[in-house]
Amino acid sequence: MLTKLSICTIALLSLSACATAKVDTQPVSNALEPMAQPAKYVGAVWKSQRDGEIRETTRIALTDTEETWRNSDGCEYMRPTTGFGPSLVWSGCSGADGSQEVSV
């Protein structure tokens, strides 16, 4: 019993020593140039896998503020073109239609 307690104590002390180690940080001497954003276009296809089946989602409309996509199941949804916001309008998605507003 004492041996198990000793091993546990040593392991705990080892882990706590790692948690208190100082991380050395230094400024970056050469900052990377910003990357260009990928070109967005109608007809772009995004492939994913769901339940072992490959699904295709195609961009069917594009404006400066919104993009509309349709997947191989017939689900169509509109979302903002900037950031990672949720879909704002959807139809035919697992039998559901709807919309929502997002305020920041």
- Judge whether 36 lies within some domain: no
21 falls within a domain: no
In a domain, 20, yes or no: no
Counting the structural domains of the chain, the total is 1
Task: Encode pLDDT of 27-75 as tens digits.
Answer: 888 888 888 888 899 999 999 998 899 999 999 999 998 999 999 989 9
Q: Is residue 70 part of a domain?
A: yes
Residue 41 lies in a domain: no
Domain extent, residue 74, equals 57-99
pLDDT in tens, 65-86: 899 999 998 999 999 887 777 8
The secondary structure of the chain as a DSSP string is -HHHHHHHHHHHHHHHHHHTPPPP----SSPPPPPPPPPP-TT-EEEEEETTEEEEEEEEEE-SSEEEEEETTS-EEEEESSTTPPPSEEEEETTEEEE-----
